[in-house]
Amino acid sequence: MTEPSHVVKMIMLQAMAASLDIGDGHATMVYCDGVRPLSEEVLADPSARLVTLTLPKPCIKQVNENSIELYPSDAAVAIKTSTATWARLYNASGQAVIDLDMGVEIQLDNYEIVLGSTQQLDAIFIEPE
């Protein structure tokens, strides 16, 4: 398979990040437990939801040479105790944009989410693979 250049990958990421603000609401990042669906087109099991973080609008803080930085999320309260295994990013219209694996695409200090705990993303960088 042909691999796009770094420049093309960054343009694709910029388009994806810009699409997060499309809609009347705000983009959200939802941490989930269990098995990640095969694609973003498959509805996520609502019982897998651990916490929903809301991103400000606009989302994009800065475009760097090798990454796109998003503004920090709000602080949100966890609704369930479990281990976060994946997350889904939704745009401001509530449409699924991308699924991400914890420990691979998302790095947290701790993946154990406790009911009632406060969660927040202080630094969000999207990088090409």
HEC string of 11-49 equals: HHHHHHHHHCCCCCCCCEEEEECCCCCCCCCCCCCHHHE
Separation CA 35–CA 120 (nearest Å): 23
pLDDT of residue 32: 97
C-beta of residue 79 within 8 angstroms of C-beta of residue 51: yes
Tracing tokens 């709000």 back to the chain, one arrives at: 74
Mean pLDDT by 10 residues, the chain (129 residues): 85 90 96 93 93 95 90 97 96 94 91 96 86
3-state secondary structure of 8: helix
Model pLDDT, residue 4: 87
Q: What pLDDT, on the 0 to 100 scale, is given for residue 119?
A: 96
* Type and span of the H or E element at 5: none
What local confidence, expressed as pLDDT, does residue 1 receive?
Answer: 65
